Amino acid sequence: MLLPLSSGWPMHVLAHLPLSDIARAEITCREFFFPRYGRNSSSVNKKCGVAVPRGDLLTLVHRYADAYAVATGSSFAVPRHVVAAYMHSEVLLSTYMYVYTCVAWQLVAVRGKGLVAAGSEHTLVITGGGGVSCFGRGAHGRLGLGRTENTHRPTRVLLGTGVTVTHVSAGAEHSMALTRGGRVMVWGGGWYGQLGLGDTTCQPRPMRVPTLHGVVAIGTGLQHSVAATMEGRVYTWGDGRWGALGHGDVGRCYVPTAVSELASERVIRVDGGSGFTAVLTRDATMFTWGINLHGQLGHGDREDRHVPTPVRHMDRCVDLACGYYHTVAVKSTGSVFTWGYGARGQLGHAVCDDDVDVPTWVSELPARCVRVAAGEQHTAAVSAAGGLYSWGTLCSDMYAVPHVVPGCSRGIVGCATGEHHSMVLKRSPGDGPVLTLHAMGAGGVGQLGLGMDVLESHPPTRVAGVSIPTSFKSQV
C-alpha cells in the first residue's frame, strides 16, 4: 500500500517506508502539474513546450522533499537548496517526461548510489527483494558465501530470514550492508578491526555489528569503515593509521567508536579511501581527515589530519566519493570538483603529472552532475540527464579529461568504481521497470560477473542474471 508523503511525517517513519513509495513522488508530479499544464502528455507540443513558473515547481519540491529522504533509504530530509538547485527561474515542460527528469529522476539517482559497490577486486549488488549478490575475488571471505574461492558469476549471499538490504559498500577486502531496520552487516577480512566485531577475525559469512543501531549511511575505506546514524552521529573503526578514524590518534578501533569532533554536526553521507575519510553534513558542509600525502584532504597542504576538518569553499555539496588517493565531490550547481593524486588522469584536469591539494573544478565536464564515484585511478560522474562520464585510467584506457562512456549517454542511475573495474546501473526502454547491471574494466578474478572467460570488458557489458525492480512505470 502506498502512503501519502508530507513534510510533517516523522523522520523515523519515513526511514523505513518501502522503496515502492518513491512511486508516490512520481504520481504526485503528475497530479500537481497536469491539471495546470495538460494532463495528456501527447497534447503538449514537444518543440514548443510549456513554461512552468518557478514557484509552482518549488512548491511541489518543498511539499514532497521527504520523498527524497525515502529514496535514499535514510532518515534525513535533504536540504531545500539541494533540490532547488535543479530548478531555474522558469523550466520548459515539454512533456510529462520533463517533470520526471527534474524530480523523479533525482530520486532514482540518489537511490542508485548504494545499490552497487565495487571493492578492490569484488562487487556487491542489491537484487530484488533487498537481497545481495556478490562476485569476484573470494579471499578472506569478502564475498560472504562461506568460502574463499573466486566467483565469476553473481551469487546470492545468505543474509538471514527477513533481512532487507538498502545500501552496500565494499572495501579492499571487506564488505558492508545496511538493512532497512538501520542495522549493519559485515563480512570479509577483519585483521585491522574493520568489521567492528571486537576482534581481528575474518568472517566468511555476514555478521551483524551488535553495537550499531539506527544507521542511515555506510562507507568503507580500504581497511576501515564508517557509518552515520539517524541522529547524525558518525562512527568509525578499523585501521587508524594517519588518523583515518578521526579520533585524534593513529590507533586501531575494533568496535564502532563515535567521532567526538563531529558531535555537533548532522552527517548524512560518508565514504573512505586509503587511510582517509570524508563526510557530508546536512547543511552541505564537507569534512575530511586522515592521510594527506597527495593533498587528498583538500586543505591546501600535505599535512595529515587526525580529527575532522572542514574543506574550505566546498559548501553546498550534494555528493562525495573517496578514491584510493584522491577525492571527488559535486555541488548543488552540478559542478564537479576533484583533488589529490592525479598522475593517472583521475582528476580530469587534462594534466596527469601533478597532485592538487585544493578542490579544483573539472572544467571539461560538459553536463550538470548529481552523483560521483572514485576508484584507484579513475573517476566517474552521473549527470542529471542520466549520462555517465568517466576519466582517468581503467586498464589500458586513459583519459585526462571526462568523456561519455560508450553506450551510457542516457538511462544511468548509478555507478560504482573499484581498483580496476566499474559497475554501472542502467535503465533501458526495452527492459521494463528494472535496472540492469553492466560491467567494464578488468575481470581476471571475476569482479565483472561476466564469467571465467572474460578478462577485460570495454565498453560496459550487461551482467546476466541481475535485474533490480523499480517502482517507476515511466521511461526516461
**367-398 residue pLDDT tens:** 888 889 999 999 999 988 889 999 999 988 88
Residues 75/69, Cβ–Cβ less than 8 Å: yes
pLDDT tens by residue, 124-159: 999 888 899 999 999 999 999 999 999 999 999 999
Choice among 98-107, 133-142, 171-180, 332-341 with the minimum mean pLDDT: 98-107
3-state DSSP helix/strand/coil percent for the chain, to nearest 5? 15, 40, 45
**450's grid cell:** 561476466
Contact 311, 292 (CB under 8 A): no
Mean pLDDT of the chain: 80
For residue 443, pLDDT beyond 90: yes
Pairwise CA distance, residues 235 & 367, whole Å: 35
Residue with the bigger pLDDT between 32 and 428: it is: 428
Q: What angle do CA 138, 142, 145 make, to 5 degrees?
A: 70
**Whether pLDDT at 209 is above 60:** yes
Q: Can you give the pLDDT at residue 29?
A: 43
> What is the average per-residue pLDDT within 80-101?
36
> Picking from 118-122, 162-166, 445-449, which range would have the lowest pLDDT averaged per residue?
162-166
pLDDT band at 112 (very low <50, low <70, confident <90, very high): low
The enclosing H or E element of 24 equals: helix 22-37
Mean pLDDT of 96-112: 40
Does a cis peptide bond (omega within 30 degrees of 0) precede residue 406? no
What pLDDT does residue 283 have?
A: 81
DSSP conformational letter for 26: H
Distance CA 251, CA 244 (A): 9
pLDDT at 476: 21
Residue type, 325: Y
pLDDT greater than 50 at residue 235? yes
- Identify the helix (H) or strand (E) that includes residue 82: helix 80-84
Mean pLDDT is lowest, of 9-18, 41-50, 431-440, for 9-18
Count CB atoms within 10 A of the CB of residue 469.
14
Give the mean pLDDT of 272-299. 95
CA distance 360 to 342: 12
| pLDDT > 70 fraction of the chain, expressed in percent and rounded | 74
- If one compares 352 and 293, the residue with the highest pLDDT of the two is 293
Are 164 and 172 in contact, with CB atoms under 8 Å apart? Answer: no
Q: Which of 65-79, 125-139, 456-470 has the lowest mean pLDDT?
A: 65-79
- pLDDT at position 252, please? 97
Question: What value does the mean pLDDT take over residues 100-111?
Answer: 40
In what order do the strands lie in the sheet containing 412-417?
412-417, 421-426, 434-442, 456-469
Pick the range with the lowest mean pLDDT from 89-93, 121-125, 147-151.
89-93
Nearest residue to 283 via CA among 78, 74, 15, 45: 78
Select the more confidently predicted residue: 1 or 168.
Answer: 168
Percentage of the chain beyond pLDDT 90 is 59
The better pLDDT of the pair 324, 36 is held by: 324
Collapsing DSSP states into helix, strand and coil, what is residue 223?
A: coil
| Among 343, 346, 326, CA closest to 275 | 326
Of residues 74 and 305, more confidently modeled = 305
